[in-house]
Structure 1
């Protein structure tokens, strides 16, 4: 399992983001290192208050890049002035806070909380619906900790979801190693029914479906897309990790899908939904990946144009079959990661740019940096509302806003006067 070192600079909000990152890494089986020299990956959560701070951040990033195998830079300076790090000459991945855990987890399935019980974090309810998965990916170490899928009854998960709503949850995140195979251990595919039942709970809240591998979703893609189409409480969002655009590499990874499956799922959701967000993951530099394989991944990204993309540079996990393979050189992995990350920024940036000028009903979910609030529209796109206190916006509010600008990883919005406390079922975009 990987070791990590995390350094945080700046405000309380940044420290909160670092705690969330660290919690996700620990849940994924990773552990803190004694220091940067002993870490597989270093995470620098940056601040950008004044020019002196910027110089200090660049200097510290350069030091960490020399001390550790991989460096991830996140935080305010990374998001506002990412080009300064890219142009500095050292190797680092520039990521949004939300992207850091999945990037470091090496494409592995997320783990649930140790006791698989729901958790209320602010107005967000975390609902683990099962433990384990049905996959045997050659690079994944998580399966050693979680085992095969173990699915509690639908009624039990509905009861937990209802308790979260009664406790004040405005967003329920349905999680698991692979939500798409929920119920397979009992011989049934129960995910569509579970989502219908959760959405039928009385109350004003949203539901986000967590990661679902294409191999588990493909056989229920039409039924599942229909569930999304008829339930306004469901975010029109699906996290579908393809990992590679090459079927040969997918074979070596022992993934339970081919690129054709991935495309067919996307086409089905395109047919059923007017607007939705596709999130996917790519592992760059798998030991058997050729230059032609890498280009197939790039072509798939250009073709499908997901709006959320996690790019992970392959690293070996002890005890996995992929760890025994002869790896690619670090320079090759870095070059391919850089090329895909640049394409990712263009694709995602264009998606957020297309939102500017539209009006959307959003749910305010979490405090952001400084006096801002992170909001989500009906397709789970992130929209930041600044000067939140002045505008009277706080987590849990549902309101209409106009998208006024964008960054690579999110949009910016301003509330429309008189439109606070709209129904979650209201139209999401105009």
Structure 2
């Protein structure tokens, strides 16, 4: 039986892939090692979102090949840029996620144990509902790794969610490269996400919460009212959506080949505003795209001010090899840095305003993980982060639900005390 070590970098979807790899290894009778030096095989699940990340992946692969007997490299960088590892002289098998378990088991017949419990991260269970996307963004290299959407059935995903809850999960994180287009490949271009969420919340017994991962505005737009209604009807769902708009300019969105326009994004936001009194909008912006003018950038700032998302990821454009945008004449690094700084300042003002507005409110929260020192990290119904200090005094630990009063904030999270 092999002893394995897995390291995962990148998004929650990548973490979900690693959970599936580990589940297959556990089901086959294999066991986690204490670290790479004690492992028969090390598995590096890579990310390739920006050039700096690539360098970090190559450096970590070099370190791991010195520490362990065999190295397998998988994930987005491995699938999109596998030649980078070979050119760096790294002695590793570069494999698709699905091929990792069999390679790690070295051809042994697995000793399958069907009753093996799903693998949790504390009280958090990760549920990848599909792999791939339907987009063709001009700047994205990840699509070379993940390909077009492949959607398991709703029934299969419901059963996976049920297994996670029965294993002790209190928070299920639904992931995918684009959860909004789940089912497009089997349902004539219409998302099955509303049906999946409705069934998870209606058919699974237990006290738990569900967070829906990144969903591009185009996929959400066609089912926006149906989806918002599902959120309104089920308290199990965190009232939270992550819809990355990327730019406030339709011209830039067209050059990015983002499929949606600004108005469609606004209509998604409006549908949730109409259905929910208290919810969290999360979005992403890319600043410094090669065709972005100052007027385009100002439109992005205006959109941020108008929709006031409580969670915002700001990324400076980075050319990715093999993408169409890499061939475009880029903007200077100084200009990109200035725009990033200006948007980040606005972001912090918007987010701080949202958390400041919570002070004095009472909320039910779920404790999801331990924090620094004697504190715990919690999430309220809109997935806003709430910190409770001196948690041991209140007997709080991950998996507990608690009623708290918000006492203060620190820009991107709130502090609270149990009541």
Normalising by the smaller structure, the TM-score range is 0.7 to 0.9
Q: Distance in 2 between matches of 1:31 and 1:282?
A: 14
1:271 aligns with 2:274: yes
2-structure distance, mates of 1:334, 1:257? 26
Q: Which runs of 5+ in 1 are unaligned?
A: 1-18, 43-112, 417-430
After superposition, what is the alpha-carbon deviation per residue over 1:165-192, rounded to whole angstroms, capped at 9, x for unaligned? 0000000011001001011001242111
* 8 Å CA contact 1:28, 1:142 repeated in 2: no
In our comparison, the structure showing a higher alpha carbon Rg is: 2
* Cα distance between partner residues in 1 of 2:135 and 2:363: 38
Deviations 1:79-135 (A, max 9, x none): xxxxxxxxxxxxxxxxxxxxxxxxxxxxxxxxxx93599741110000000000000
Q: How many residues of Structure 1 are paired with residues of Structure 2 in the alignment? A: 327
Q: Distance in 1 between matches of 2:262 and 2:45?
A: 29
Quote how far apart the aligned CAs of 1:388 are: 1.2
Deviation at 1:32, TM superposition (A): 12
Verify the 8 A CA contact 2:48 2:142 in the aligned structure 1.
no
Whether 2:199 is the aligned partner of 1:189: answer no
Q: Is the 8 A contact 1:206 1:234 kept in 2?
A: yes
| 8 Å Cα contact 1:119-1:127 kept in structure 2 | no
Conservation of the 8 A alpha-carbon contact between 2:47 and 2:54: no
Q: How does 1:82-231 map to 2 (within 5 A)?
A: 114-115=97-98, 119-186=119-186, 187=188, 188-200=190-202, 201-231=204-234
Counterpart position of 1:378: 381
State the TM-score, normalizing by the size of structure 2: 0.74
Match of 1:395 in 2: 398
CA distance in 1, matches of 2:129, 2:350: 32
Report the TM-score, using the length of structure 1 for normalisation.
0.72
Answer whether contact 1:170 1:206 (CA < 8 A) is retained.
yes
Change in CA separation of 1:40 and 1:260 when aligned onto 2, cut-off 3 Å: farther
Alpha-carbon distance in structure 1 between the residues aligned to 2:395 and 2:262:
46
Residue 393 of structure 1: SS of its match in structure 2?
A: coil
* Mapping 1:247-396, distance limit 5 Å: 247-396=250-399
Q: CA deviation at 1:39?
A: 5.6
1:378-412 C-alpha deviation (Å, 9 max, x unpaired): 00000011111222111000010000000111000
Using the alignment, how far apart are the partners of 2:272 and 2:119 within structure 1?
30
State whether residues 288 and 331 of structure 2, in contact with CA within 8 Å, keep that contact through their aligned partners in structure 1. Answer: yes
* Cα distance between partner residues in 2 of 1:392 and 1:195: 32
**C-alpha deviations, 1:337-362, integer Å up to 9, x for none?**
00000000000000000000000000
Q: Which of 9, 23, 29 pairs up with 2:47?
A: 29
Distance 2:401 2:163 in 1: 21
Using a 3 Å threshold, how does the CA distance of structure 1 residues 22 and 292 change in structure 2: closer, same or farther? closer
Q: Residue 242 of structure 1 contacts residue 282 of structure 1 at CA under 8 Å; is this kept in 2? A: yes
Are residues 161 and 356 of structure 1, via their aligned partners in 2, closer, same or farther at CA, if it must alter by over 3 Å?
same
